Structure 1
Amino acid sequence: MTGARPGAEHVQEQVRQHVPDQASQYAPQHVPGPITGGESLVRALAAHGVTHVFGIPGTHNLEIYRHLGAHGIDHTAPRHEQGAGYAADAYSRASGTPGVALTTTGPGLLNIAAAVGQAYSDSVPLLVLSPGMPSNHPVQSTGLLHETRSQTGALSHVAGFSHRVSSVEEIEIAVARAFTYFRTGRPRPAHIEVPLDLLEAAYRPGAPRRAPTVAPHAADSSAIERAVRALAAAERPGIVLGGGALAASGDCLALAERLAAPVVTTANGKGVVDEHHPLSLGVSLHSPAVQEWLADRDVLFAVGTELAESDFWSAPPAPRGRLVRLDIDPAQMYTGIPADVSLVGDARATLPLLVGALPGAPSGRTEESARAVTDLRAKRDAETRTRDLRWTPWLDVIGRVLADDAILTSDSAQCCYYGALPHLRTGARGRFLHPTGFGTLGYALPAAVGAKVAFPARQVVALSGDGGLQFSVQELATAAQLGLPLPVVVFDNGGYGEIRDEMIARGDTPLAVDHAPVDLPALARAYGGNGVRVSRVDELASVLVRALDTPAVTVITIAEEGA
């Protein structure tokens, strides 16, 4: 999920400041005196352009903390390690650079596991760093503080990889390995554990180890030729874009316009193509009308998406035509819906070759496709109009107030997946960060902190429900400490609305889903921010405008009907 999307200016500035050009990597460099393993870890982060980390100091990671400032790395301290993970995840999604989270041993590391699972599901390059038991620690339990049977064993089953270094010299190599991993395939989270004794051990380092620069690689030329033939012959083409297409936004739009093909996106692909564009269906894979339309395409082109149940909210429909898939992960060619034409490569490198080789669409197809998009959007909205009216009037106001480059963070809440994903349109300059797949609760607030740290001058708004917000509500303190404008819009339905509805649909008596009212605006004020309760749609615009201009976190609570 890296590339020239919103955040490119942030990435380029980091590169200019912290990453030397290829030639200078091999130039003679000053060799410092002895440093500790903790400083070696921090030096390795700085060598890879890291300027910010999220974490909580603990007894065992202080040797890392003591060196952050000297190496130009800023720090934000969330109130829980899970919040640190979600903040680093959103920092990565917004900026296009890997997010870094720092924990202590034992419970600190295990607390971040849910965030690591979310980053794995959504292909986010998240680096988690932790101390570990000493190198010579026995297998038998000794009662050492935060002792854990196997931290790497636990994280290896959640992250893309989990690595425990065995020598102080290996620390920089492990960091370079993680950044190489981020640059050479489908991004997944990584964990590096440094034993306590190695953090304090001194050694004399050489020149910093750095991951090599890796250019995005295109799919095989013969596969591109097959894809061009299939797409050029299509009479009813359609395009599905996932998170793997984010870095190739302009080329995705160029392809859609060359084919005059309607575009539908997954949650992670929201905004790859401007959702105001006449060919954009937005996030609509859950719609039965759109699913039937997809199944009827004679050629369907999918970019950077699993085409999974979590995208469709049901079993994916089997296409009746040919499926062309472009993905950096070769496993996507035969899992889920198998590809008829397989393009294994980076979307940034492959799509320009496809677009350049395709002829223009037949005369009249663009107008025909635009009419089809208008019709399908109307059908999609009609399917759920009664339900979605709980949120759409409010979301319309939010959409009118926000700038076109605003960043919205979302929770796994009804107001977000039923409301904002399909109905709050995102432009190509904006971002919508949603925890799909793994479907965690409590993402929106700490993710908004991470996005705001990445881009302090851009509008950032968190969208959540009252149940989801309380999974990470303590991060209101972190948001307040930033001292930056950060509205948190909370739709209050008195508990876990989705699970309540599912229980009722099953004929069950709702149990443990109805919560006593919480004065969330008052809680925000207690944490040092602002809070207001809005009861009418016509009040929201002025409240939101004021919150976006006030250097503080502001909780805006909206009571849903019947809550």
Structure 2
Amino acid sequence: MPRLSTAEATVETLLLHGLDTVYALPGLHQDPLFDAFYHASDRLRVIHPRHEQTAAYMALGAALATGRPQAFGVVPGPGLLNAGAALLTAYGMNAPVIGLIGQIPQADIDRGHGHLHEIHDQLGLMRHITKWAERIRSPQEAPTLVSQAIWQATSGRPRPVALECALDTWAKRSEVVIPDAPLPLPPESIDDEAVETAARILGNAERPIIVLGGGALDASAEIIKLAEMLEAPVSSYRRGRGIIPSSHRLAVDMPIGHRLWKDADAVLAVGTRFFIQNGSWGIDDRLKVVRVDIDPDEPERFRKPDAALVGDAAPQLRALIASLARHNRERASRAEELNGHRAWFAERLSKLEPQVSFLKAIRNALPEDGIFVDEVSQMGFASRVALPIEKPRTFLSPGYQDNLGWGFGTALGAKAAMPGRKVLAIAGDGGFMYQVGELATAVRHNIAVVVVVFDNGAFGNVKRIQQERYGNRLIASDLQNPDFAKLAESFGIASFKALDARQLEDALHKAFALNAPALVWVPHGDVPSPWDLIMMPKVRG
């Protein structure tokens, strides 16, 4: 039985679970943990950014791009709070992120002595923004709690978890038992009666539609099979994009899904909160609803569906496919109908310039398996409905938190975890400055992300709202910016300037060819609003 410190036992258990990278910033409370990282450096990579928010965002980006758990480490108190936005985003995006958070000496926790970085009830705070959180109190507990943390992050509905450990506890040594293997995930169960009910509903429908969310990311083959059996258009938005390729004959962007919604007689909603359809588009008794979700609380959150399959999407859908074969009706091709909707959408997008041309340039330069990281910006909003996506986990978007400034750090994590893929992050000038210091991280660790900074000198969405709703009373929406090309060069990063879509595409090809960090600066003026293609009105119910 090995004699290890708590920190060493934690590292060994992470490695057992296949976590070979930690995104972390050092500090007094984490010194013993970083010493354990050092001694495992032949097996474990530590990437240190310049801010705690980025450590957590990098773990988030890596988790979103791979679908596997990823770890970050920060000091307590302000370190945790700095990472809080990323943890909150990971919670909203169902991402398996593991936080390793420092603490003050164990005997003084929550006693109010005023230790460096002390915060009252840090464990309770973490439990508000994670699925599960615990404190490691001894070396013997570390393997069990780390294993349990990873199990919690990956079993059922994936979500972030956190472990805190006191400075003195990290350093304590004892004989410990490292588990032989990760904890087994719970077995998948199939409710045959619910599957039969769902199959009858969908099989009898004349005009079914499928709606996808991030819970369907690992069920592409099953989704495509079902869509083709049902001749059902497949509508996706943000995390659901790429599960069915945009080029597939039944794939439709969300605005077309909205046009189809009022006449649909059945919907299969897979791995989605279904919030937009329930909350905005409307549901009535003529629309039969079948939900598939791994979270048993999700299907009835808004209203009781006509059938609910609870479990991982892929096996549940395979069971549905088998049953549907016995109940499915013949349907005519919907190609002509969908082509008509696509013509309408193309005409509408022609008014969304220059965003659409810039997005076409990005699509032309970024390979199909390249990863695109959306940002809360005018270009980001447009990309959610106008950028074709061919593969799952290649469109990363910040979910319902929609927090400004998430993108660059997330892209760094995605690239660090997927070094063989091209990774492109877009940012507005406002959001990019949240993590601009991480240009140094990209250089220090040679993380070859290409970031495109669209610079309109404003918080563009705030400015538009003030113009349209508040009588053009502009306040705190204008921005003073650097020369982004010179800024990048000061970090030793290649920079390009593009004034139109053609120049952008050319710059991107050159930037990707470098296989090194690069920045493309795109100054531009005001752009038209995409919001009528996102915030669409109620059409039924």
Q: Decide: shared fold, TM above 0.5.
A: yes
Question: Which of residues 274, 278, 291 is equivalent to 1:307?
Answer: 274
Question: Following TM superposition, by how much is the alpha carbon of 1:354 offset from its aligned partner in structure 2, in angstroms?
Answer: 1.1
Question: Following TM superposition, by how much is the alpha carbon of 1:88 offset from its aligned partner in structure 2, in angstroms?
Answer: 0.5
Report the equivalent of 1:485.
448
After TM superposition, the structure 1 = structure 2 runs for residues 109-124 of structure 1, keeping only pairs within 5 Å, are 109-124=80-95
Question: Which of residues 364, 386, 402 is equivalent to 1:400?
Answer: 364
Report the equivalent of 1:46.
15
Amino acid in the other structure paired with 1:296:
D
Deviations 1:128-183 (A, max 9, x none): 00111222116442221111112112211111122122333212211111122123
Question: Which of residues 365, 370, 379 is equivalent to 2:344?
Answer: 379
Q: Is the 8 A contact 2:13 2:178 kept in 1?
A: no
Report the equivalent of 1:4.
none
Report the equivalent of 1:532.
496
Question: Which of residues 284, 298, 319 is equivalent to 1:332?
Answer: 298
**CA distance in 1: counterparts of 2:101 and 2:419, whole angstroms:** 28
Question: Following TM superposition, by how much is the alpha carbon of 1:390 offset from its aligned partner in structure 2, in angstroms?
Answer: 2.4
Question: Following TM superposition, by how much is the alpha carbon of 1:391 offset from its aligned partner in structure 2, in angstroms?
Answer: 0.7
Amino acid in the other structure paired with 2:105:
P
Report the equivalent of 2:533.
none
* Residues 364 and 321 of structure 1, relative CA distance in 2, 3 Å threshold: closer
Amino acid in the other structure paired with 1:45:
L
Question: Which of residues 242, 248, 270 is equivalent to 1:277?
Answer: 248
Q: Is the 8 A contact 2:143 2:178 kept in 1?
A: no
Question: Following TM superposition, by how much is the alpha carbon of 1:371 offset from its aligned partner in structure 2, in angstroms?
Answer: 2.6
After TM superposition, the structure 1 = structure 2 runs for residues 287-436 of structure 1, keeping only pairs within 5 Å, are 287=255, 290-309=257-276, 315-319=280-284, 320-359=286-325, 365=332, 367-368=333-334, 370-383=335-348, 385-386=350-351, 388-417=352-381, 419-428=382-391, 431-436=394-399
**CA distance in 2: counterparts of 1:119 and 1:238, whole angstroms:** 29
* Residues 411 and 41 of structure 1, relative CA distance in 2, 3 Å threshold: same
Runs of at least 5 residues in structure 1 that lack an aligned partner in the other structure: 1-30
Q: Secondary structure at the match of 1:474?
A: helix
Question: Following TM superposition, by how much is the alpha carbon of 1:397 offset from its aligned partner in structure 2, in angstroms?
Answer: 1.4
Q: Is the 8 A contact 1:176 1:210 kept in 2?
A: no
Q: Is the 8 A contact 2:16 2:182 kept in 1?
A: no
Report the equivalent of 1:559.
523
**CA distance in 2: counterparts of 1:60 and 1:96, whole angstroms:** 30
Question: Following TM superposition, by how much is the alpha carbon of 1:383 offset from its aligned partner in structure 2, in angstroms?
Answer: 4.6
Deviations 1:113-141 (A, max 9, x none): 00000000010011000111222116442
Question: Following TM superposition, by how much is the alpha carbon of 1:325 offset from its aligned partner in structure 2, in angstroms?
Answer: 0.2
Question: Following TM superposition, by how much is the alpha carbon of 1:246 offset from its aligned partner in structure 2, in angstroms?
Answer: 0.1
Report the equivalent of 1:234.
205
Question: Following TM superposition, by how much is the alpha carbon of 1:334 offset from its aligned partner in structure 2, in angstroms?
Answer: 1.1
1:476 and 2:439 matched? yes
After TM superposition, the structure 1 = structure 2 runs for residues 227-266 of structure 1, keeping only pairs within 5 Å, are 227-266=198-237
Runs of at least 5 residues in structure 2 that lack an aligned partner in the other structure: 528-541
Q: Is the 8 A contact 1:486 1:547 kept in 2?
A: no
Q: Is the 8 A contact 1:407 1:458 kept in 2?
A: yes
Amino acid in the other structure paired with 2:337:
A
Relative to structure 2, which stretch is displaced further, 473-482 or 323-332?
473-482
Q: Secondary structure at the match of 2:217?
A: helix
**CA distance in 1: counterparts of 2:406 and 2:100, whole angstroms:** 20
**CA distance in 2: counterparts of 1:245 and 1:363, whole angstroms:** 26
Q: Secondary structure at the match of 1:115?
A: helix
**CA distance in 2: counterparts of 1:395 and 1:140, whole angstroms:** 54
**CA distance in 2: counterparts of 1:242 and 1:504, whole angstroms:** 33
**CA distance in 2: counterparts of 1:499 and 1:562, whole angstroms:** 12
After TM superposition, the structure 1 = structure 2 runs for residues 113-152 of structure 1, keeping only pairs within 5 Å, are 113-137=84-108, 139-152=110-123
**CA distance in 2: counterparts of 1:278 and 1:507, whole angstroms:** 43
**CA distance in 1: counterparts of 2:157 and 2:414, whole angstroms:** 22
Report the equivalent of 2:514.
550
Question: Following TM superposition, by how much is the alpha carbon of 1:294 offset from its aligned partner in structure 2, in angstroms?
Answer: 1.7
Question: Which of residues 60, 64, 67 is equivalent to 2:36?
Answer: 67
Amino acid in the other structure paired with 2:37:
L
Amino acid in the other structure paired with 1:521:
A
RMSD: 2.0
Amino acid in the other structure paired with 2:344:
K
With structure 2 as the length reference, what TM-score do the two structures score? 0.92
After TM superposition, the structure 1 = structure 2 runs for residues 432-511 of structure 1, keeping only pairs within 5 Å, are 432-508=395-471, 509-511=473-475
* Residues 41 and 411 of structure 1, relative CA distance in 2, 3 Å threshold: same
After TM superposition, the structure 1 = structure 2 runs for residues 196-215 of structure 1, keeping only pairs within 5 Å, are 196-208=167-179, 210-214=181-185
Amino acid in the other structure paired with 1:535:
L
Q: Is the 8 A contact 1:326 1:342 kept in 2?
A: yes
Q: Is the 8 A contact 1:412 1:436 kept in 2?
A: no
* Residues 435 and 227 of structure 1, relative CA distance in 2, 3 Å threshold: same
Matched length: 522
Relative to structure 2, which stretch is displaced further, 205-214 or 322-331?
205-214
* Residues 543 and 361 of structure 1, relative CA distance in 2, 3 Å threshold: farther
Deviations 1:270-319 (A, max 9, x none): 1010011110013x1xx3x632422421110000000114x89x634225
Question: Following TM superposition, by how much is the alpha carbon of 1:430 offset from its aligned partner in structure 2, in angstroms?
Answer: 6.1
Question: Following TM superposition, by how much is the alpha carbon of 1:468 offset from its aligned partner in structure 2, in angstroms?
Answer: 0.9
**CA distance in 2: counterparts of 1:138 and 1:290, whole angstroms:** 52
Q: Is the 8 A contact 2:424 2:450 kept in 1?
A: yes
Deviations 1:404-436 (A, max 9, x none): 11111111222112x212111111266111101
Q: Is the 8 A contact 1:406 1:430 kept in 2?
A: no
